[in-house]
Amino acid sequence: MQPKPLDTAPSVHALIGAELRYQREKKEMSQSEVGRLLFLTGAFIGMLESGTRRMRPEIALKLDELLDSGGFFFRVCASLKELRRPDQSIEAVKAEQSAKRIQEYAPQHIPDILQTEAYAQAVIHSGLPTAAEEAINELFMPVLERAKMLQHPDPTVWTVLDEAVLRRMVGGPAVMAEALRHIAELGRRRRIVVQVLPFVAGGHPAIDGALKLMAFSDAPTLAYLKCFASGQLVDDPAAVAQYEFAFSLIGASALSPSDSLDLIESMARHYELKSRRTHNLRTVLLCKSERSEPDLEHGSAPDVSHRKKPPSHQLLPMPDRPETTKEMTVTE
């Protein structure tokens, strides 16, 4: 089977991966052969070549020795350590597509793969309030494509939502009601495991930001740390183990899945009631506005003969005003 073309545009790691494929094919070796000699899987070598996994220095040394690349991979990896880490959100999305298990703590908003169309649009609009509709559509369509992952048995998804996610009204009450109903429905039919971390739980290990763990059947687990307008992938085993422990602590502090679903559905009902009240209030105000507006087209004022006059005893007489004269006397 022919390997798929490499996409070298998004990152430096993809460029390194392209060189790895070139050196491997020059040696007439398959991904599986290289992986077996390095005690890795062929799929992991494929991830290195596509740029979805970062090449660690110890792997670079072994590849240089195996492929006779003159120390190229180790030198590049050493140089990259000195560079500022770029945004790796694109690589994270690619890795997510092949993950077998996704564990995520969401502190601010509903994760992308659980979002409804209206909620996704509202999130993007809030971040880019002056963007044109075409730009908004280009951004939120990929989010909807990622949500389609849940139409398949894999990956297993375990999400912990901070209580702030439920109470921050993104897009209005109707949008929130639909979004929370969607999450509850996924939980009720056991497609996802969802928990809510309540405010009363206090501090926790991921209080500084979002955390996502992605486990694979043929590669080590990745951690993804999301911050404002960027993200960082972490594949160092020791660091990933710390993030896995942090997620376990968060899950232990959160409500049980059953209690969490009850709370999510309760908040959905709250937003539904709020949406109906808002709709009814707008309807009343609109009706009053239509009755009070004059008929400007025919030049007539609204008929007010049906309005009741207040009882006479409620009308208070105006106090007499003293008469003023042109002659004024000034007392020294």
pLDDT(71) > 70: yes
Residue 10 pLDDT more than 80?
A: no
Q: Where are the alpha helices (DSSP H) in 115-256?
A: 117-127, 133-147, 163-167, 173-188, 237-253
Average pLDDT of the residues in 28-49:
92
Calculate the alpha carbon distances from 145 to 70, 93, 150, 194, 255 in Å: 42, 11, 10, 21, 30
For 304-321, write each residue's pLDDT tens digit. 555 555 555 444 454 454
Any idea where the domains of the chain sit in the sequence? 12-82, 89-275
**What was the pLDDT predicted at 184?**
98
Q: What is the CATH number of domain 12-82?
A: 1.10.260.40
Residues 192-205, mean pLDDT to the nearest whole number = 95
Please tell me the pTM assigned to this model.
0.66
Q: What is the mean pLDDT of residues 77-99?
A: 75
Domains 12-82 and 89-275 share a fold: no
Task: Give the pairing of strands 156-162 and 101-106.
Answer: parallel
Which one has a higher pLDDT value, 46 or 1? Answer: 46
Query: What is the third-level CATH fold of 89-275?
Result: Endonuclease; Chain A (3.30.870)
122-165 residue pLDDT tens: 998 888 888 888 877 777 788 888 888 999 999 999 999 999 99
Instruction: Say if residues 212 and 223 touch (Cβ distance below 8 Å).
Output: yes
Task: Using alpha carbons, select from 22, 222, 62 the residue that is nearest to residue 3.
Answer: 22
Tell me: pLDDT of 25 over 70. yes
Please name which of 243, 237, 150 lies closest in space to residue 192, comparing C-alpha atoms: 150
